[in-house]
Amino acid sequence: MGLIVKTEGETTVHVPRDVVVKGGKAIDEYVAKARGPKRTKASEKNDSPEPNTEEVSE
């Protein structure tokens, strides 16, 4: 293991040594990729269930 990166509110990432030796930019990219894309309001909206538009027959 090369480096453990912790950020408040984010997943802890264990960066392997072959990435660590490539330098700070490579580490940042590895951490970002490991954590996945940041959630935006738009993506959260997409996650919400579709409104039920079916008419209910009496």
Footprint on this chain of other proteins (rule: CB under 8 A)? 1-8, 17-18, 20-21, 23-25, 27-28, 31
Question: Do residues 35 and 45 touch, judged by C-beta distance below 8 A?
Answer: no
For residue 46, the minimal CB distance to other proteins (Å) is 28
**Residue 17 vs 45, nearer CB to other proteins:** 17
Q: CA triplet 25, 5, 35: central angle to 5 degrees?
A: 75
Residue 54 β-bridge partners: none
Closer CB to other proteins, 23 or 49, in the complex: 23
Min dist. Cβ of residue 44 to other proteins (A) = 23
Residue 26 CA to residue 32 CA, distance in Å, equals 10
